[in-house]
Structure 1
Amino acid sequence: MTSDRQILVVTGMSGAGRSTAADALEDLGWFVVDNLPPQMLRPLVELAEHTGDSIPRVAAIVDVRGGKLFADTESALESLRGTASEVRLVFLEATDQALVRRFEQVRRPHPLQGHGTLLDGITAERARMAELRSQSDIVIDTSDLNIHQLAALITEQFSESADQTTRIAVQSFGFKYGLPSDADLVADCRFLPNPFWVPELRPLDGLDPSVERYVLEQEGATEFIDAYVRALTPVLAGYRRENKRHATIAIGCTGGKHRSVAIAEELGRRLRALPDLTVSVKHRDLGRE
């Protein structure tokens, strides 16, 4: 097999957006095969090899619709990783609540539901998918994304312009709303004084210059960012060596409104100065009560 062919295996929870991801990849020029039995992964790549350079990027959608065939997914991936130059496993997931809502909207049963409830099917699939999720190179939580936002995210991560850089998403969040399930690295900035307790800053957020200035001027704030960037530098270099093209760095505070937002913005600015990185900053819980 050649060394420049890119292989994406897309899997994840039913209802988490695999079809949307497949359509977005196809629009980007990927050769996409949906509902592929995992045993056909290597023959698919070998077939692409015979085309020369005409199919440089192949994406296969593999999921529990394959029934008993799906049980061989892990061994098929192991075989593929041992031969192809770049194989990435992408896992799409969502919360139980989001999946239930989506299935109810389309009025279709879950593929593992059987004679049980919709939630029974989701629970069974999540257990069956646990090992694959742990092996994934990229985990995308679509719980709060509509189809257009998911398509834009796929385009951002897998367009040709993204191929030569590591894409870093710095995401602020509030611990009281739970950890981001797709975070690769998590940092806690609750050691800083909370602007929430400053009356004139409480109604503002970390994007406001006065809040940002307050947070960054606190003792330990810049020292933390300086040290964190130094710690991240060898990690991100290792990601590039291992062909990990995307990582999410989550920065948390209590509510995700003040401290984490300001720190995430400053961290994003620092990381943009490093080579071979494309950095975006997002705020998961900004605007929540």
Structure 2
Amino acid sequence: MPHRSEKRRMEESERESASAGRKSGQQRVLLVTGVSGAGKSTALDVLEDLGWETIDNFPVRLLKRLLSRPDGEHGNLAIGFDSRTRGFVPAKIIDIVKDLSRQEDLLVSTLFIDCSSGELERRYNETRRRHPMAQGSPVQEGIRAERELMEPLRRWADMVVDTTDFSTNDLQQHIRELFAAEADQPMTVTVSSFGFARGMPPLADLVFDMRFLDNPHWVDELREQTGLDPAVGEHIEKDAGFAPAFSQIRDLLDTLLPRYQAQGKSYVHIAFGCTGGRHRSVFTAERMAQALRHAGFSPTVRHRNLGSRATDAVEGMKR
């Protein structure tokens, strides 16, 4: 896996490729491919939600015929294909796309959805699905064969998204960030909560650790409640550290968000973490979302671990 700073550079490169401008009259065509189980279908679903026309498992040899339309403005078109698609030969696909890229009325790019072999094996074993290239062999052999077949397309793709550490929600969020329309659109702000004991959110731009606050988990009557319940909120607000910390974080966001927007950033994810992701982080995320609405933003709120079971083992030692 790439180093964190390298990963950040890769993500910025992906955003630049995804947001490349098009000339008037050009149709934006995105070819979406990748290894089976990595998340191609999820990516196409998000693109459809963003207003793209989407086609999955399209015979790539028919691309030229599909795109032979009268001149004029067209909507964004995303076409999915992979090793199961009829007539799938990577070298021929690359040649076809090179020819299409020479057409002045088209802006063609390729997105490759990848994932580590170990994680793909885990996903197939967990879902009990048959790998399309296993042919009665162990899933590892199917993954190995498909990766070898797909490698030319991976090397040639304009954008590569590695979903090894992504949940389905993480991938959805990343695709939205890459391909949400930019022109005259307000910046999309997400405020989330999570539990450090259950892993860091891989795509957060700003992470704030709320574990310095008194933990409601260790109050018997609050343990089964969450940061959405008034009693938990009252407990957290009584902590002398909450008000000054919240105020400073809010002031920081008041400074950063307009500057992000001025720089053309289309998506900002602000994450608040506590130990289990059920009390302190949830309450703070809700309060911060409310403050941001008063500041003129329209944040989406997500609580990753709100439904998780409250256990002493997750919360660790009493603090």
Structure 1 8/194 Cα, relative in aligned 2: closer, same or farther at 3 Å? farther
2:286 is the counterpart of 1:258: no
Decide which moves more: 88-97 or 259-268: 88-97
Over the matched positions of the two proteins, sequence identity in percent amounts to 37
Report which of the two structures shows the higher radius of gyration computed on alpha carbons: 2
- Which residue of 1 is the match for residue 6 of structure 2? none
Q: Contact conserved, 1:192 with 1:218, CA < 8 A, in 2?
A: yes
In structure 2, C-alpha distance between the alignment counterparts of 1:239 and 1:8, rounded to whole Å: 27
Helix, strand or coil at the partner of 1:250:
strand
1:209 positional shift: 0.7
Helix, strand or coil at the partner of 2:193:
strand
Q: Contact conserved, 2:114 with 2:160, CA < 8 A, in 1?
A: no
1:114 positional shift: 11
CA RMSD of aligned residues (A): 5.3
Residues 151-183 of structure 1: per-residue CA shift (max 9 Å, x gap): x99899978899712222222111111112232
2:44 is the counterpart of 1:22: yes
- Which residue of 2 is the match for residue 189 of structure 1? 210
| Count of residues in correspondence between the two structures | 264
- Which residue of 2 is the match for residue 219 of structure 1? 240
- Which residue of 2 is the match for residue 104 of structure 1? 128
Say which of 168, 173, 179 aligns to 1:142.
168
Residues 251-281 of structure 1: per-residue CA shift (max 9 Å, x gap): 1111111111111111111122333x43111
Say which of 194, 214, 228 aligns to 1:207.
228
Q: Contact conserved, 2:208 with 2:272, CA < 8 A, in 1?
A: yes
Amino acid at match of 1:32: T
1:102 positional shift: 6.3
In structure 1, C-alpha distance between the alignment counterparts of 2:288 and 2:179, rounded to whole Å: 24
Say which of 51, 57, 61 aligns to 2:76.
57
Structure 1 165/90 Cα, relative in aligned 2: closer, same or farther at 3 Å? farther
2:58 is the counterpart of 1:32: no
Q: Contact conserved, 2:124 with 2:131, CA < 8 A, in 1?
A: no
Amino acid at match of 2:238: E
1:101 positional shift: 4.6
In structure 2, C-alpha distance between the alignment counterparts of 1:185 and 1:50, rounded to whole Å: 46
Amino acid at match of 1:108: H
In structure 2, C-alpha distance between the alignment counterparts of 1:237 and 1:62, rounded to whole Å: 39
- Which residue of 1 is the match for residue 4 of structure 2? none
Structure 1 26/198 Cα, relative in aligned 2: closer, same or farther at 3 Å? closer
In structure 2, C-alpha distance between the alignment counterparts of 1:244 and 1:9, rounded to whole Å: 24
Helix, strand or coil at the partner of 2:221:
coil
TM-score normalised by length of structure 2: 0.59
Structure 1 141/64 Cα, relative in aligned 2: closer, same or farther at 3 Å? farther
In structure 2, C-alpha distance between the alignment counterparts of 1:108 and 1:68, rounded to whole Å: 19
Structure 1 90/261 Cα, relative in aligned 2: closer, same or farther at 3 Å? farther
Structure 1 235/63 Cα, relative in aligned 2: closer, same or farther at 3 Å? farther
Helix, strand or coil at the partner of 1:204:
coil
In structure 2, C-alpha distance between the alignment counterparts of 1:171 and 1:283, rounded to whole Å: 5
Helix, strand or coil at the partner of 1:215:
helix
Structure 1 2/269 Cα, relative in aligned 2: closer, same or farther at 3 Å? same
In structure 2, C-alpha distance between the alignment counterparts of 1:165 and 1:254, rounded to whole Å: 33
1:195 positional shift: 0.9
Amino acid at match of 2:202: S
- Which residue of 2 is the match for residue 132 of structure 1? 160
Residues 20-53 of structure 1: per-residue CA shift (max 9 Å, x gap): 442453466413355799xxx9x9xxx7998432
2:187 is the counterpart of 1:166: yes
Amino acid at match of 1:209: P
In structure 2, C-alpha distance between the alignment counterparts of 1:62 and 1:236, rounded to whole Å: 38
Amino acid at match of 2:209: D
Amino acid at match of 2:276: G
Amino acid at match of 1:280: T
Say which of 176, 185, 209 aligns to 2:197.
176
Helix, strand or coil at the partner of 2:23:
coil
Helix, strand or coil at the partner of 2:160:
helix
Residues 71-124 of structure 1: per-residue CA shift (max 9 Å, x gap): x9xxx9xx9xxxx99x9979687965762256623x23468x9976449838x9
Amino acid at match of 2:167: D
Structure 1 177/20 Cα, relative in aligned 2: closer, same or farther at 3 Å? closer
Amino acid at match of 2:37: G
TM-score normalised by length of structure 1: 0.64
